[in-house]
Chains A and B, each alone.
Chain A
Amino acid sequence: MSDLSYSEAKKVVYRGLVLLAVVTLIEVFFSLLGKGHVISAFKGITWLHYTIGLLLISLSFYKAYFIIYEFMHMRYEVKGLAMSVLLPTVLLIWAIIAFFQEGNSWKNRRELIQEKNTEEVSPEPAKQESMLLKDTYILKLEGLI
Chain B
Amino acid sequence: MATSDTIVEHQKEQSASDWSGGRPAFRTSYGKLMMWYFLLSDAFTFAGFLIAYGALRFSSPTWPVPDFVFSTAPFGVHHAPLIFVTIMSFLLIASSVTMVRAVQEGHLENKNGVVFWMLMTILGGAGFLGCQAWEWTNLIGTEHMSVTTNPFGTHTEGGVYLTADGKESEEVFKAGESFLIHKAHEGEEHGGGEHAEQDYSQGDHPGYLVDERGFVHRKFKVTEGPDAGMVKTEQFGPKAFGALFFFITGFHGFHVFSGVIFLFIIMLNAGSGLYMKRKNGHEMVEKIGLYWHFVDLVWVFVFLVFYLL
- A residues in contact (CB < 8 Å) with B: 1-4, 6, 9-10, 13-14, 16-17, 20-21, 24-25, 27-28, 31-32, 35, 37, 44, 53, 56-57, 60, 63-64, 67-68, 71-72, 75-82, 84-85, 88-89, 92, 95-96, 99-100, 102-104, 106-107, 110-111
B298 nearest CB neighbor, chain A only: A64
Given known contacts A25-B86, A95-B47, is B297 in contact with A67 (CB within 8 Å)?
yes
Among B94-102, B145-153, B183-191, B261-269, the stretch that binds chain A is: B94-102
CB pair B300–A60 under 8 Å, yes or no, is: yes
User: Is B293 in contact with chain A by the CB < 8 A criterion?
Assistant: yes
Given known contacts A35-B65, A81-B36, is B55 in contact with A71 (CB within 8 Å)?
no
CB pair A21–B308 under 8 Å, yes or no, is: no
User: Is B17 in contact with chain A by the CB < 8 A criterion?
Assistant: no
CB pair A56–B59 under 8 Å, yes or no, is: no
Residue of A44, A100, A103 contacting most chain B CB atoms (<10 Å): A103
Inside 8 A of A4's CB, which chain B residues have their CB? Answer: 1-2
CB pair A92–B297 under 8 Å, yes or no, is: no
A47 to chain B, nearest CB (A): 15
A118 to chain B, nearest CB (A): 11
Q: Can you add 4 more A-B contacts, CB < 8 Å, to A88-B40, A103-B56, A104-B59?
A: A67-B300, A71-B97, A92-B47, A92-B51
- B residues in contact (CB < 8 Å) with A: 1-4, 6-8, 26-28, 33, 36-37, 39-40, 43-44, 47-48, 51-52, 54-61, 65-67, 81-82, 86, 89-90, 93-94, 96-97, 99-101, 104, 107-108, 176, 281, 289-290, 293-294, 296-297, 300-301, 303-304, 307-309
Could you show 9 A-B contacts with beta carbons less than 8 Å apart? A3-B6, A10-B101, A13-B104, A20-B93, A21-B90, A31-B67, A57-B309, A76-B7, A85-B37
A93 to chain B, nearest CB (A): 10
CB pair A75–B293 under 8 Å, yes or no, is: no
Complex CA gap A35/B309 in Å reads 9
CB pair A106–B40 under 8 Å, yes or no, is: no
Complex CA gap A23/B48 in Å reads 26
Given known contacts A10-B104, A81-B33, is B81 in contact with A37 (CB within 8 Å)?
yes
CB pair B59–A106 under 8 Å, yes or no, is: yes
A31 to chain B, nearest CB (A): 4
CB pair A13–B100 under 8 Å, yes or no, is: yes
> What 6 A-B pairs are tightest by C-beta distance, nearest first?
A103-B58, A103-B55, A3-B2, A106-B59, A81-B26, A103-B59
Inside 8 A of A103's CB, which chain B residues have their CB? Answer: 54-59
Complex CA gap A76/B6 in Å reads 9
Inside 8 A of B97's CB, which chain A residues have their CB? Answer: 13-14, 16-17, 20, 71
Complex CA gap A35/B178 in Å reads 12
B288 to chain A, nearest CB (A): 12
CB pair A31–B36 under 8 Å, yes or no, is: no
Given known contacts A37-B67, A67-B296, is B281 in contact with A60 (CB within 8 Å)?
no
CB pair A72–B294 under 8 Å, yes or no, is: yes
Inside 8 A of A80's CB, which chain B residues have their CB? Answer: 26
CB pair B55–A102 under 8 Å, yes or no, is: yes
Inside 8 A of B58's CB, which chain A residues have their CB? Answer: 100, 103-104, 106-107
- Select which of B33, B39, B52, B104 is within 8 A of A6 by beta carbon: B104
Complex CA gap A85/B32 in Å reads 12
CB pair B26–A72 under 8 Å, yes or no, is: no
Inside 8 A of B2's CB, which chain A residues have their CB? Answer: 3-4, 75-76
Inside 8 A of B281's CB, which chain A residues have their CB? Answer: 1
B131 to chain A, nearest CB (A): 15
B281 nearest CB neighbor, chain A only: A1
CB pair A67–B81 under 8 Å, yes or no, is: no
Inside 8 A of A60's CB, which chain B residues have their CB? Answer: 300-301, 303-304, 308
Inside 8 A of A81's CB, which chain B residues have their CB? Answer: 26-28, 33, 36
Complex CA gap A133/B104 in Å reads 85
